[in-house]
A and B are shown apart, each in its own frame.
Chain A
Amino acid sequence: MMKMSSTKTLLTGNHAVAWGARLARPKFIACYPITPQTPILEKLTDFHMAGELDAEILTPESEHSAMAACISASLTGVRVFTATSCQGLLLMHEMLHYASGARAPIVMFNVNRTVASPWAFWPDQTDSVSQRDTGWIQLYSESGQESLDSVMQAFRIAEQVVNPVLVNQDAFYISHALEPVEVPAQETVDRYLPPFHPEHVLDPERGESLGNVVSPEMFCQHRKDIGQAMQLAIAVAQESDAEWERLVGRGYGIIEPYCCEGAELVIVTMGSMCGTVRHTVDEMRARGRSVGLLKVRLFRPFPVEAVRDALAGIPDVLVLDRNFSPGTGGVLHQELKSALYGMTDAPRMHGYLAGVGGVNVPPGKIEEFVDQVRRNEPAIHSVWTG
């Protein structure tokens, strides 16, 4: 491993994301401000003003237009970054499908926030999990450091599989949390992310076109291609993480089993709550309780095989969902049930809606959930917690 100088400093999650974007050297950024994402855009424009970010920054009239501009720019063959949150992400919804259909390898950062109505600003992942069918690769981060590192990895994944990537962090607990973050050296990032030169670009000199009217068979074939790119993304995400770890010493995996060996119960969750569960697992293990954490970092494509391997032989699994799909329950709970379906000796699966709307989930509550789960038969549907 070649050592290059990095700097450890105090950054909020949002500023860590802006640093990640700056280091990736995007050529185009179209972005619309929204609480709690705004500090990302503010920091990027600070970098731009100081001459430290050589990108065109466009601030259009809406998120829908921002994503439309990102798609067009990406198709001309330049590296593109944007960031948003909740209502903004949802306003982009139509364009999200378009971006993956157009195979535009954009990297977008989303700060998870409650979806209106009613109006609120608390952490809740319904905004992004509800975009699971748009063809975007999705990663969820546990810390500001991981957010910065994930932006690097997202560009590498996006450009290798030619598909857009959405990286997510929870509002406030990460976005507005000031904590020590190591900012890698530019040379390290340049070694990791070579200049972007896609095979197909919109260029008047070359006369290619994209997005024409097609036959059903052509459309179907196109969807199969996207599906294949998604399947490929699992291995590419693993490789991208391993290579980043080789360069900077920090890797996260596409999933992370923590203290799962011989565990009676494993808690599965995504995003900031992984940190609180990790803390709780350490405390409970110290008192002789055999519990573990399975952190799902790559949510799309859902790493079914890796999750099955990690949970094989575990008696009870508790899924904690900081999101709510009315009429279904917790989206991660649904994903886990689907992933483990038909597995021999599959774990008993308990799904709790915990932290929906930003409700506080401290270690004490997580311990209560574990005790409840050990006492009760699993319910078919997700269970509300207070």
Chain B
Amino acid sequence: MLEIIIHGRGGQGAQTAGNLLAQAFFREGKQVQSFATYGGARRGTPVNSMIRIDDKPIRLRCDIERADAILCFDRSLLDARLLHWADRDTMIVVNSAGLRENYSSLGDYRIYPIDGVALSQDHELGRIVNSALLGAFCCLLGSPALDTMSTTILEAAPVKQKRNVAACRAGFEAAMRQFVRNEPIREAEAR
């Protein structure tokens, strides 16, 4: 079973991202469970979306205690409280313009900063970062396939469908370039 936490602030789209990710895995034939926990979410307060993916039906009805992967929408939330759900093997993608080295002080974690805001602004999506971050997350997680994620976003996005798909693909490509092919980061990206 794959267990994923998407962490963000109310209004940033973490819950939507969780549901989109679950839909993409479901489309690939997986069993999924995606739920949000919040104490009456308000704009700006931390919210969690928890996603489980498995080949067999999922019966667990409890919070995830240790995540296989974390997608953090807001770098100000990447601290000890969030890392409580992580260990050395947890793949952590954070929406940040910073470099990996900037996060080494947090400990021995696999942290991958992706500049979701820059990618979204490139596609005229303002601060709506979930499509770009989902693209990067899929790349580093190895699934669901980029085409599945793109199709899911295309069908689910209420507006600007094509721009969201392009942002998702750009996020995937950025993660591929920075962390898979390990190409040196360009100055413009290291803001």
| A residues apposed to B, CB below 8 Å | 10, 35, 119-122, 142, 170, 172-174, 176-180, 272-276, 278-279, 360-364
Contacts and interface: CB of A to CB of B under 8 A. Distances in A.
B13 to A, nearest CB: 15
Contact of A362 (B26, B37, B63): B63
A12 to B, nearest CB: 8
Contact of A10 (B32, B39, B40, B60): B32
A119 B23 CA distance: 33
A276 B33 CA distance: 13
Given A273-B61, A361-B62, 7 more contacts: A10-B22, A10-B23, A177-B33, A178-B23, A178-B32, A278-B59, A279-B59
Interface string B29-44: 0011111111110000
B19 interface: yes
B65 interface: yes
A204 to B, nearest CB: 46
14 contacts: A10-B19, A10-B22, A10-B32, A35-B40, A120-B40, A173-B35, A173-B61, A177-B33, A177-B61, A178-B23, A178-B33, A179-B33, A272-B61, A276-B61
Contacts, number: 66
B22 to A, nearest CB: 6
B3 to A, nearest CB: 11
A273 B34 CA distance: 17
A341 B11 CA distance: 53
Contact of B35 (A35, A142, A178, A273): A178
A170 B61 contact: yes
A360 B31 CA distance: 22
Contacts of B32: 10, 178-180
A178 B19 contact: yes
A347 B166 CA distance: 62
Nearest to B64: A362
A10 B61 contact: no
B30 to A, nearest CB: 10
Interface of B: 19, 22-23, 26, 31-40, 58-63, 65
Nearest to A174: B61
A360 B64 CA distance: 9
A10 B53 CA distance: 13
Nearest to A179: B33
Given A360-B63, A364-B65, A176 B58 contact: no
B59 A276 contact: yes
Contact of B60 (A119, A180, A275): A275
Nearest to B27: A10
A378 B32 CA distance: 38
B35 A172 contact: yes
A276 B60 contact: yes
Given A275-B59, A363-B60, A172 B37 contact: yes
Contacts of A176: 35-36
A254 B148 CA distance: 41
Question: Which of A178, A179, A363 is the most central at the interface, judged by chain B CB atoms within 10 Å of its CB?
Answer: A178
Contacts of A273: 61
A10 B27 CA distance: 10
A86 B58 CA distance: 27
Contact of A360 (B23, B59, B62): B62
B26 A180 contact: yes
Contacts of A179: 32-34, 58
Nearest to B15: A176
Contact of A180 (B31, B35, B36, B39): B31
Contacts of B35: 172-173, 176-178
Contacts of B61: 142, 170, 173-174, 177, 272-276
Contact of A122 (B23, B34, B39, B62): B39
A37 B37 CA distance: 14
B19 A276 contact: no
A264 B46 CA distance: 43
A35 B37 CA distance: 12
Contacts of B23: 10, 178
Nearest to A171: B37
A176 B37 CA distance: 8
A74 B19 CA distance: 37
A364 B36 CA distance: 21
Given A173-B61, A174-B61, A273-B61, A121 B39 contact: yes
